Amino acid sequence: MNQKITRIRRKLMAELDKERYEHTLGVMYTAASMAMRYDADIDKALMAGLLHDCAKCISGENKLCGRYHLSVSEVEKSNPSLLHAKLGAFLAAKKYHVDDKEIVNAIASHTTGRPHMSLLEKIIYIADYIEPGREELPNMAEVRKLAFHDIDACLYRILKDSLVYLDSRNIPIDPMTEKSYQYYKEKLDQKEE
């Protein structure tokens, strides 16, 4: 696994711009730290963190999805940046030869989340948001602490803040982001009853 990580790191250094590569390393190590905290597989967290944005610096996402027979919704068509998650999951398997379903799923759901996320998916979704190089988003100090204290509460908090952010900028919400938010809201409400 370590050799494979080193090999893919080298490829990504050429594939991504400098800022995105630095972010990638931040997500990779943050995900590993969270895996330590929550008893998840550290190697899988490293690999999923490393590859989560592997399709971020590619242009013509719509066309590429067509070529690879990946479905594109209306919201994705008008916001192609959403597509780097599913395109990244596809490339992780086909170009970087990652055959672990859990890793591929974590890459696929890292932008919108989804209901019933696995532990690894939650870790990547959160690590992407809190890695040390990420710009200071609202409530960041609190969210970072929560990540190592209560993973579902943290997930909910990020989904909530993301919806507020997207709304304030009039960016159309992907239905999956909304679904994830509702699912984790209900889950937390039930826990509190």
Q: Does 61 bind Fe ion (CB under 5 A)?
A: no
- In the complex, the smallest distance separating the C-beta of residue 111 from ligand DGI, rounded to whole angstroms, is 4
Element (DSSP H or E) covering residue 191 = helix 175-192
160 and 181 in contact (C-beta within 8 Å)? yes
Output 76 or 128, the one with its CB closest to Fe ion: 128
Amino acid in the structure at residue 82: L
- In the complex, the smallest distance separating the C-beta of residue 143 from Fe ion, rounded to whole angstroms, is 15
Instruction: List residues binding ligand DGI (CB under 6 A).
Output: 23, 53, 56, 79, 81-82, 110-112, 128, 162, 166, 171-174, 177
Kindly calculate the radius of gyration of the chain based on its CA atoms and give it in whole angstroms: 16
Output 38 or 80, the one with its CB closest to ligand DGI: 80
160 and 66 in contact (C-beta within 8 Å)? no
End-to-end alpha carbon distance in the chain: 43
Give me the count of residues in the chain: 193
Output 138 or 190, the one with its CB closest to ligand DGI: 138
Which stretches of the chain bind Fe ion, using CB under 5 A? 53, 128
